[in-house]
Amino acid sequence: MKHFLRMLIQVCLYFYCTFLWRCLKFVMRKLTGRCELQRICYNTKPGASRTMKIETSLRGSKSKLLQTSVSVHLDAIEKTIEDIMELKKINPDINPQLGISLQACLLQIVGYRNLIADVEKLRREPYDSDNPQHEEMLLKLWKFLKPDTPLASRISKQWCEIGFQGDDPKTDFRGMGLLGLYNLQYFAERDTTAAQQVLSDSLHPKCSKFSKAEWEQKRMDKAIGYSFAIVGINITDLAYNLLVSGALKTHFYNIAPEAPTLSHFQQTFCYLMHEFHKFWIEEDPLDIMEFNRVREKFRKRIIKQLQNPDMALCPHFAASEGLINI
């Protein structure tokens, strides 16, 4: 009975709030002479704040055109903007900036949806040792991380030196598929110095850039390292879940002036990998069994940062030099 009453109250609140919201929108339009989309574009600065409000407005509209505008093809966005302007009876000659602003928002919204599809496709693709492209990427990962150490053979215990669990890395990619390899190889190739430093620190944490005094102050005399590649795959899982949950919208809407791409996702992975490494050192876990605790604490910190509508995780990170912070 209590469950039924709770559901009834929730349904009543939903319809009550929806009715009030539509009434408020009607009143505001009459008072300002502008529709909700105009008010958002004219009163909210570019970036996540504006795009997320536009997305919420479009999805919550009673108009089918506005509802479906967030899922059109990228090539159809310009035509969709024209249809929205016509529906809202807005003269584009009098309000030219509105069309430009809406187009920028829709490019980000639709681009984010497409990025999820691209990332999901890579995640679902298993590593295939019979695929020359997959093998080439894996061997490149070794060369970037260990340029002065030749790999004795494809199946080798040497893979453990960069943090894989056995003599054949393909078994470690099962959880994240090819996405894990793409991210690791991107980090090692695009930010080689940082990747090599993180690898070295993960193997020899007491030899990191902390001074002896800092180690003693932090009481890190028994610092614990971690498996670089395995942690990279785990951080890939973290980045993937942040993307799919929508938590990364704040970041991408602030750093990608148009549609976010796979490169933006990989640059974000580089940042997360770098930040997790620093976080691990600062946490000074007693042993590797604390990994899940440290990872969860790190995840919560990142999510809290992303709740800030002005947040851009890595506008100045080395692997993100090509990004624009709008």
For residues 145 and 162, what is the distance between their CA atoms, to the nearest angstrom?
8
pLDDT tens track for 218-266? 444 445 789 999 999 999 999 999 999 999 999 999 999 889 999 999 9
Helices (H), the chain: 2-32, 36-43, 48-59, 64-68, 77-87, 96-124, 132-145, 178-190, 192-203, 212-218, 228-245, 249-255, 262-283, 291-306
Question: What crossing angle do the helices spanning 178-190 and 96-124 adopt, rounded to 10°?
Answer: 110
Segments in 33-95 forming alpha helices (H): 36-43, 48-59, 64-68, 77-87
More confident: 155 or 221: 155
Side-chain half-sphere CA neighbours of 93 within 13 A: 0
Look at residue 1 in the predicted model and tell me its pLDDT. 61
Domains of the chain, by residue range, sit at 1-31, 34-123, 128-307
Q: pLDDT digits over 158-187, tens only?
A: 999 999 999 999 999 988 999 999 999 999
Lowest mean pLDDT among 8-22, 62-76, 130-144, 198-212: 8-22
| The pLDDT of residue 31 | 45
Alpha carbon distances (Å) from 58 to 17, 52, 104: 17, 10, 14
> What is the predicted pLDDT for the residue at 34?
64
pTM for the structure as a whole: 0.82
